[in-house]
Chains A and B, each alone.
Chain A
C-alpha cells in the first residue's frame, strides 16, 4: 500500500540543519586557502612536467575540494587523511628511486617487500586490501546496528566507511605513482581498466552515500548501500586473485587520451548514485512490506527515502549526461565519429533514456512510492549490464576491461 502524496509530504521531517545552506565559516576560508596554496606549490615545483591543461585541471580540482569542504565539512578531514596517506606512500617510494626515475617491475616488487610500511599499508595492493576489509566490516556493522537500534554501532559503521574510503584513494595515488615507477612510459592515471574502475565504483559510491548520510542525518541506510559495495568488492577480490587483474599494464594507444581521464570518473558518479538509488529502493520496499512508517521506525520515513532516491538519480543523471557527452567527444577524436552505435555507447543511451523516463514520470506525472522504487532497482540492472554485461557478452570498440 502506498500513502497519498499529500500525506507523504506532511510526514517529511526537514533535515535537521545538516549541510543545507551552510554559512561560509573561517575554517572554510582557511581550507580554501590551503587547497590553493597546495596547488600553487605543486605548480611551482613541478611545472616543468606539467602541460598548461594539467595546471588548469589542478586548480579546478583545488577549487572543487575547497567547495566540498565548505558544503560538507567532514570532507576536509577526509581529503587531509588521503593527502597525508598518499604523501607517505609516495615518500616511501622515493627512497627507492633516484630523482624519481623508474626502477622497473621487479625492483618495485622488491621495494614493496623490503619496506614494512609499503608492504602492509601504503603500496597500492596493501591499501586496496585495507579498503576491502574496512568496507566489508562496515556492511554488517551498519546492518546489525540498524537491527538492534545501536546508535553507537551505526557510528562505527560510518567510521569504517570513511576509513575504507581513505584507503581507496590512497590506493589511487599509490598506484598512479607505481605506474611511473615501473616504466616512465607506462605512467597513467589508474582509471583505465575494469579492475581500476571497480575500486573507483566502491569508493565513489561510499563517498556519495556518506554525503547523503550527513545531509539527511540518518545512518540506517548504510547497510543497504554497503551491500552493493560489498558485492562489487567480492568480485574485485576474485578478479584480483584469480585473474591477476591488479597487474599494471601500460595503456594501448586508444586509451591515451585526456578525455578518458574525465569521461570515466564522471561516468562512475552516475553509476554510484544509481546504485545508491536502487539500494534505497530495496530498503523502501522492505519497509513498506513491514507496514510502512510507524512510531518505532528504524529506517527513515518512506517520504525521505523517496526523496533521497530522487536526489541521487537526479545527480546521477546529470553526471551521466556529461559522461556520455565526454565519451562522444573522445570517440570523435579516437574513432572518427562521435556516435557509432557501438554496444557500450548504445547501452549508455539505454541507461540514460531509462532514467530520463523515470524522472519525467516522477516530475510531470507525480509518480512516487513503490513503483518508482521497483523502477530504480530495474534501472540498476540495466546500468549493471551497461557497465559489466556489455564487456562480458558483447563485442565492440570499448576494449578496456574484458573478462
Chain B
C-alpha cells in the first residue's frame, strides 16, 4: 500500500508560499512538473514502445494489408502504428517528457540550490525536537569543550558545519552530501540533453520537408539517374540523416537512400565512394568472420581523399559523415548455364547466359517463360548430421536463385546448386523448389554419375523419352521372351513403350492408371488384375534396366557395380519428380564470374555528441543521487538553567535529517549521538 511520509527536510526555512489563488502560469508549471504527469508519461511511452515491437515496423504496406485485413489496416495506419517511433504523436509524448523534466528541474532548482548553500542556522529548538532523529544529552564540560568536540565528531563523519551564537544558546548546524543535489541536476538535465540530441538526429526535419511539399517520396525501383530532382536532397538540406547504398565492386556512388514511409528519398553526398573490392573471410567452419570493403572516398570540393578498408565495427569518419560496412549482396554476378530440357525432347541441353538481377525470356512449345535471376551464393554452409550422429557443418558449394515466371504470370522459385553434394556415399545435384513465396523449400535430388556429372542421368532420360529407342529395347525384350509373329511382337513392344514413356513423362501413378485402363479395356477378369499388373510393372522395369545398361554401354562401362545399381534406383526416384518440378528445363550452373556489392550505411548525426554528453551526465548523476546522501545534523547547546550543585552544566540537543527516508541514517545518527555523550567519547566513530 502507498504511504505518505512526513517530510522532515524543509522544516526550518520553508520557502514562502504566497497565499491566495495561483496564477494560470503557475498552475500549468505545477502540472507539468508534477510527478503524476511524469509517471504517466513514462508508462505511456513504455506502452507505445511495446506496440512498436510487436508490429514489425516499416514493412511493405501490402504485407500489413494481408496480415491485418482492410479494417484494422486502416485503423493501425491512421494511428501510424507501422512507424510508431517517428509518428507525430509519439514524438509529441517525448517532447512532453522533455518539458515535464525541464519544468521539474526549474521548479526544484531554487530549493536544491538553497539546500546546498544554506546551513539552516536559524533552526529553533522546537522544530529540532520535531525531527524523527533527536536526542538530548547532558554534560559537565565547558562550552568550548563541547563545541570543539561536536565539531570534531561532525567533521569526522564527513559534515561541514557552522556555529552560531544566539541569545544564550549555541547552534552548530552541519550538512553533508551536497553532491546528491548536484546529482539531481546532472541526472535530469542529462536526460533533457539526450532527448534534445536525439531530436536533432531524428527524422523530424525530413518529415517536415515532406509535409511542406519540399521533397517527394519516390516509391519506384529505378536507377538513381532516373529519380526526379524533387525526390533528391541537397547536401545541406537536413542536418542529420541515416541512409544506405549498395555499390557493386568496381563501381562508385555518391548518394545515400533514406527510407521514408513506403519509399525513399535520395540524399546527395559531397563526396564519392569508389568500391575497389569486397571480401568475406570465413572461419574454417564456414561462418563469416569478416566483411571488408576496400574503398576510396574523395571529396568533390577539395582534394581530400581517403583510401581505407571498411569493416564491421570500424566505421570511417569523413567530413562529418560516418560510413559503415553494413551489408553485402550480389553485384550482378555473371552466370552461365547448361539448360537441360526436361519435357519434349528431354535430356538435351544448350548454353544459356545470364546475370544476377537480369531477366531472360525464352520460348518453349510456343509459350513464353521468363527467368529472373535474383541471387547467387558462393558458399552454402549448412549443419548436417555427420556419420557419428554429431552435428557437422558442410559446404554445399555455389548456388543460384532464380524465379521462373510462367505464362500464367505466377512464379516458382528455384535454388540450384552448382556442384553435386554427397549424402550417404552417393552424390546428387540439388534443386530447391518453392512453388509459392511462403512455401517450404523442397529438393529434387538428381544423381551424379561416376565423373560427378549430370550427363548420365540426362542421357538416360533422353533414351526413355525417345520413342524409337524405347521401342527397339522393348522389341528386343519381347523377342527374347516369346517367339510370335513380328506383328504381334511389334504391337506388344509398342504398348510396353507406351507404359515406359508414361512413367518417364507423367510419373509412376500415371503409369499405374494406364495399366489399369488397359486391363479393363481388355476385359481381364478382376481376380487376375493383381497378377497382370505385377507382370506389366516387371516388364517396364526390365525395359528401364535395359535402357540404363544401354547408356552404360555407350559410355563403355565394363563392370556393373553397386554404384551403378544405386544410381539406377536414384534415377528412378528422380524421374517421377519431373511432372511436378514445374519447369520445362533444368538449369545447371556451369560457370560464373562472382561480382559482389557492398552495402554501406552513411550517416550524419550532429546530435550524437549531445546524446553522449547527456549520457555521461545522467550516469554520474545517478550514482551521485544513489550513493551520496544529503544529510543535516544540528547540535544545539544550552546552559542548564537550574544548574545547582553537581548538575550538568549544559544540555545538548542533537537532531538530524536525511533527505532519503531510507533506514541508513539511523545508524549514523545513533553513532554521532552516542559519541556526543561525554562518557562514551573514547569510542571511535567508525
CB of B686 within 8 A of CB of A21, answer yes
B-binding segment of A6-14, A152-160, A192-200, A273-281: A6-14
Q: Closest CB-CB distance, A359 to chain B, in whole Å?
A: 9
Q: Known contacts A185-B283, A349-B49; decide if A336 and B242 are in contact (CB<8 Å).
A: yes
Question: With A and B bound together, what is the CA distance between A333 and B310 in angstroms?
Answer: 12
Number of A-B contacts defined by CB within 8 Å: 160
A51 CB–B CB distance under 8 Å: no
The CB with the most chain B CB atoms within 10 A, among A315, A325, A371, is that of A325
A225 at interface (Cβ–Cβ under 8 A)?
no
A49 within 8 A of B: no
A residues in contact with B312, CB < 8 Å: 253-254, 256, 334
Give B287's nearest chain A residue, CB to CB.
A250
Tell me, in angstroms, the Cα distance from A239 to B289 when the chains sit together.
25
A369 near B3: Cβ-Cβ < 8 Å? yes
The minimal Cβ–Cβ distance linking A148 to chain B, given in whole angstroms, is: 29
Q: Which segment, of A118-126, A204-212, A350-358, faces chain B?
A: A350-358
Q: Which residue of B lies closest to A253 (CB)?
A: B312
A346–B605 Cα gap in the complex (Å)?
20
Instruction: Assess whether A338 is in contact with B313, with CB atoms less than 8 Å apart.
Output: no
Contacts of B35 in A (CB 8 A): 360-361, 364-365
Instruction: Compute how far the CA of A356 lies from the CA of B312 in the bound complex, rounded to whole angstroms.
Output: 34
A333, B52: Cβ atoms closer than 8 Å? no
In whole angstroms, how far apart are the Cα atoms of A307 and B201 in the complex? 40
Decide: B53 and A390 in contact? CB cutoff 8 A: yes
Q: Which of A21, A314, A338, A356 has the most CB of B within 10 A?
A: A338
Specify which of A20, A256, A357, A366 is in contact with B667 (CB 8 Å cutoff): A20
> B283 touching A183 by the CB < 8 A rule?
yes
Closest to A368 in B: B3
Instruction: Provide the residues of chain B in CB contact with A186, threshold 8 Å.
Output: 283
Instruction: Using CB atoms, name the residue of chain A closest to B602.
Output: A336
Contact bitstring B231-265, A, C-beta under 8 A = 1, else 0: 00000000000100000000000000000000000
> Which stretch of A89-97, A131-139, A164-172, A316-324 is in the interface?
A316-324
Asked if B229 CB lies within 8 Å of chain A CBs, one says no
- Of the stretches B170-178, B395-403, B612-620, the one at the interface is B612-620
Q: A318-B623, A346-B49 are in contact. Are A2 and B3 (CB under 8 A)?
A: yes
- Residue B679 CB within 8 A of the other chain: no
Partner of A9, one of B242, B289, B666: B666
B155 interfacial by beta-carbon distance below 8 Å:
no
Contacting pair B660 A363 (CB below 8 A): yes
Which listed residue (A2, A253, A307, A321) contacts B662, Cβ 8 A?
A: A307
Q: How far is the CB of B194 from chain A (nearest CB, A)?
A: 9
A360: chain B residues within 8 A (beta carbon):
35, 38-39
A4 at the interface (CB under 8 A from B): yes
Is B619's CB under 8 angstroms from A365's CB? no
A9 with B661: in contact, given A314-B626, A350-B50 (CB under 8 Å)? yes
A-B CB proximity, top 5 nearest: A336-B601, A366-B5, A253-B312, A343-B53, A336-B324
Could you list 22 examples of A-B contacts with CB < 8 Å? A4-B3, A6-B5, A9-B132, A249-B287, A253-B311, A253-B313, A307-B662, A333-B314, A333-B315, A334-B313, A336-B324, A337-B201, A338-B608, A338-B611, A341-B84, A353-B45, A360-B38, A364-B35, A365-B35, A370-B1, A371-B2, A390-B53
Which residues does A use to contact B, with CB under 8 Å? 1-2, 4-6, 9, 12, 14-15, 20-21, 23, 183, 185-186, 244, 247, 249-250, 252-254, 256-257, 303-304, 307, 310, 314-315, 317-318, 321-322, 325, 328-329, 332-339, 341, 343, 346-347, 349-350, 353-354, 356-357, 360-361, 363-371, 390, 394-395
